[in-house]
């Protein structure tokens, strides 16, 4: 008998360790021949801890489980039974490519990884000349999943064509945006997949060293990734000869130190070099002068973890999913005040309203949805009147927003949008690296100006708009440049929240 109890951080935060201990204890008490697997999460966080029992090759789901449910779950009589996991609507509606194995396998079991299609992509890539690897990534249409949406293959081509004695692959795992947890789930649930993607990147561009920069707020992901790198070295996946080939590649896990701005690629590189996480002016591009001044690929976790899929299934297969210039799939993270929160991987193009209402099931509080923030603290707040916006880079940009890392945070009608706008400015002021004036000073003035509006001074509204334009046009990176998105969207779509204070003052 095989029982799966997730060790994903969200599952653990909801008590999965207690459930796992209860499974072990009950098995011992009954003298059962039971294998307990601590898998990643299937992404249905509202059902966590989600226990799965494998019977006749079918995985049956039970959740949300507590230690008290364990005996009945093992008997097959639990009221928490949900049926076969693969038949649950949440699973059936998805196209799980990047997250195919997350929640399915034991994250640190290399044999299990291989049995579920792991390393097929790398083996195919190893048979290709590096220029063809780069071309396949270009052909797949993959764009940076960290938020910027820059074509991954083009970035790789720049690094591949640069001449240098040493090049680097740097994985940006500084997933600091509220509402996002895809990187965390992938690293905790399928770490070899990310390693495989980084190796393919290394071979493609001629880099032999890689770093994963993980934020310190993710201790579980750090632990799993470090263990996976160790196992990868022993298995000959990492080291002087990747899977017996002529290519060398090795990598290291590095830990951030609580600075949000280090999610910006140049600031991340400075941090990795042991400096203050201050943004660098571009050019030079990191592709030409990156880590320690050497040509460097900086890619997000999801971008790199999608690369093996492109080689396993083919560039055309991947490109055939999606909408317009947004090709492939996007792991949506549905969060905040939502009934069914979690990770949902789907082809680009699904409408925002469908995600919030049909997939997410509306608010957790049962109250009407007021606003949805997409793309983290730098993303716009969308009112329900914009719920027909399809998820793709271009339509979000034309709606004065961004898709970012595809985190979707739902707020009910108790949210005060002036307060949310103020928080955006305050967060920018706290986290600004200080290099450029529009961000460093602008964010502080932004908080003050919003406070004036809150006191009923409507003359400050045009001032706020003007300030936002300055920050947008004059900031060096996305922190100062995109903070206007949540602020201006709150002001534009929810003007009543900015006028209410005036009424109170009169």
Partner 1 sequence: MPVADVLEPHARQTLDDILRAHAADEGPLLPILHDIQAAFGHVPQAVVPVIVEALNLGKAEVHGVISFYHDFRAEPAGRSVVKLCRAEACQAMGGDHLAHHAERKLGVGFHETRADGKVTLEPVYCLGLCACAPAAMVNGRLVGRLDEAAVDRIATEVLA
Query: Does position 10 bind partner 1 by CB under 8 A?
Result: yes
Taking the C-alpha atoms of residue 462 and residue 268, their distance in angstroms, rounded to an integer, is 35
Query: Does position 238 bind partner 1 by CB under 8 A?
Result: no
Distance in Å, CB of 409 to partner 1, minimum: 5
Query: Does position 223 bind partner 1 by CB under 8 A?
Result: no
| 7 φ, ψ (degrees, to nearest 5) | -110, 15
Number of residues that bind partner 1 (CB under 8 A): 64
Please give the distance of CA 502 from its chain centroid, rounded to a whole number. 40
- Six-digit token string for 439: 């961000």
Query: Does position 504 bind partner 1 by CB under 8 A?
Result: no
Contact yes or no for 196/110 (Cβ under 8 A): no
**Which of these ranges, 215-223, 311-319, 322-330, 497-505, lies near partner 1 under the rule CB under 8 A?**
215-223
| 224: CB partners within 8 A, 6+ apart | 107, 108, 187, 188, 191
Cis omega (within 30 of 0) for bond into 349: no
Distance in Å, CB of 56 to partner 1, minimum: 31
Query: Quick one: CA dihedral 351, 143, 381, 43, positive or negative?
Result: positive
Query: Does position 257 bind partner 1 by CB under 8 A?
Result: yes
Paired sense of beta strands 58-62 and 51-55, if any: antiparallel
Distance in Å, CB of 373 to partner 1, minimum: 6
Taking the C-alpha atoms of residue 261 and residue 277, their distance in angstroms, rounded to an integer, is 7
> Which residues share a beta bridge with 331?
345
Q: Which of 156, 192, 291, 393 binds partner 1 (CB under 8 A)?
A: 291
- Reduced to 3 states (helix: H, G, I; strand: E, B; else coil), residue 271 is helix
* Site map (CB under 8 A) of partner 1, residues 16-55, x = contact: -----------------------------xx-x-------
Query: Does position 277 bind partner 1 by CB under 8 A?
Result: yes
Of the pair 141, 407, the CB lying nearest partner 1 is at 407
Contact yes or no for 166/249 (Cβ under 8 A): no
Query: Does position 336 bind partner 1 by CB under 8 A?
Result: yes
- Reduced to 3 states (helix: H, G, I; strand: E, B; else coil), residue 13 is helix
Query: Does position 359 bind partner 1 by CB under 8 A?
Result: no
Please give the distance of CA 112 from its chain centroid, rounded to a whole number. 24
Q: Which of 6, 103, 153, 176 binds partner 1 (CB under 8 A)?
A: 176
The residues in 406-425 that bind partner 1, with binding defined as CB under 8 A, are 407, 409-412, 415, 420, 423
The residues in 104-133 that bind partner 1, with binding defined as CB under 8 A, are none
Query: Does position 328 bind partner 1 by CB under 8 A?
Result: no
Lookup result for tokens 């290099």: 435
Lookup result for tokens 């364990």: 70
Of the pair 348, 381, the CB lying nearest partner 1 is at 381
Of the pair 64, 153, the CB lying nearest partner 1 is at 64
Q: Which of 235, 255, 399, 447 binds partner 1 (CB under 8 A)?
A: 255
- Reduced to 3 states (helix: H, G, I; strand: E, B; else coil), residue 283 is coil
Taking the C-alpha atoms of residue 276 and residue 414, their distance in angstroms, rounded to an integer, is 39
Contact residues toward partner 1 (CB under 8 A) are 9-10, 12-14, 45-46, 48, 175-181, 183-184, 209, 216-220, 254-260, 271-278, 291-292, 333-338, 341-343, 364, 373, 376-377, 407, 409-412, 415, 420, 423, 427, 431, 433
């Amino acid at each position: 008998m095989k029982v799966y109890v997730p060790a994903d951080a969200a599952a653990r935060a909801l008590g999965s360790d207690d459930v796992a201990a209860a499974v072990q204890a009950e098995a011992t008490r009954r003298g059962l021949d039971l294998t307990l697997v601590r898998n990643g999460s299937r992404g249905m966080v509202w059902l966590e801890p989600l226990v799965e029992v494998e019977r006749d090759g079918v995985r049956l789901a039970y959740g949300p489980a507590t230690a008290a449910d364990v005996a009945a779950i093992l008997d097959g009589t639990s009221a928490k039974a949900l049926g076969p996991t693969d038949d649950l609507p949440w699973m059936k509606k998805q196209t799980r490519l990047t997250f195919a194995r997350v929640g399915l396998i034991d994250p640190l079991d290399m044999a299990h990884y291989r049995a579920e299609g792991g390393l097929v992509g790398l083996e195919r890539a190893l048979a290709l000349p590096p220029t063809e690897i780069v071309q396949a990534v270009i052909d797949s249409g993959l764009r940076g999943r960290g938020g910027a949406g820059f074509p991954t293959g083009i970035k790789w081509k720049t690094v591949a064509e640069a001449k240098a004695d040493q090049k680097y692959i740097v994985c940006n795992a500084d997933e600091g945006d509220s509402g996002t947890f895809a990187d965390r789930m992938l690293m905790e649930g399928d770490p070899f997949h990310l390693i495989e993607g980084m190796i393919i990147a290394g071979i493609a561009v001629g880099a032999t060293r890689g770093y994963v920069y993980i934020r310190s707020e993710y201790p579980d992901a750090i632990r799993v990734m470090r263990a996976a790198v160790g196992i990868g070295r022993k298995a000959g996946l990492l080291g002087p000869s990747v899977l017996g080939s002529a290519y060398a590649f090795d990598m290291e896990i590095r830990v951030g130190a609580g600075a949000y701005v280090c999610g910006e690629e140049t600031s991340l590189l400075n941090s990795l070099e042991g400096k203050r996480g201050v943004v660098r002016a571009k050019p030079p591009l990191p592709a030409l002068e990156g880590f320690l001044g050497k040509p460097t690929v900086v890619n997000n976790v999801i971008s790199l973890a999608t690369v093996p899929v492109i080689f396993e299934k083919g560039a055309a297969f991947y490109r055939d999913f999606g909408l317009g210039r947004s090709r492939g799939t996007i792991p949506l993270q549905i969060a905040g005040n939502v009934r069914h929160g979690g990770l949902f991987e789907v082809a680009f193009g699904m409408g925002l309203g469908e995600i919030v209402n049909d997939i997410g099931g509306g608010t957790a509080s049962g109250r009407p949805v007021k606003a949805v923030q997409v793309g983290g603290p730098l993303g716009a707040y969308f009112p329900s009147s914009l719920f027909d916006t399809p998820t793709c880079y271009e339509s979000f940009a034309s709606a004065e927003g961004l898709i970012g890392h595809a985190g979707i945070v739902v707020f009910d009608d108790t949210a005060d949008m002036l307060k949310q706008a103020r928080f955006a400015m305050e967060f920018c002021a706290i986290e600004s690296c200080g290099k450029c004036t529009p961000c460093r000073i602008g964010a502080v003035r932004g908080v003050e100006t919003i406070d004036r509006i809150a006191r009923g001074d409507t003359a400050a509204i045009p001032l706020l708009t003007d300030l936002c334009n300055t920050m947008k046009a004059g900031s060096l990176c996305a922190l100062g440049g995109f903070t206007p998105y949540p602020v201006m969207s709150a002001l534009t779509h929810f003007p009543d929240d900015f006028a209410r204070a005036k009424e109170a003052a009169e």
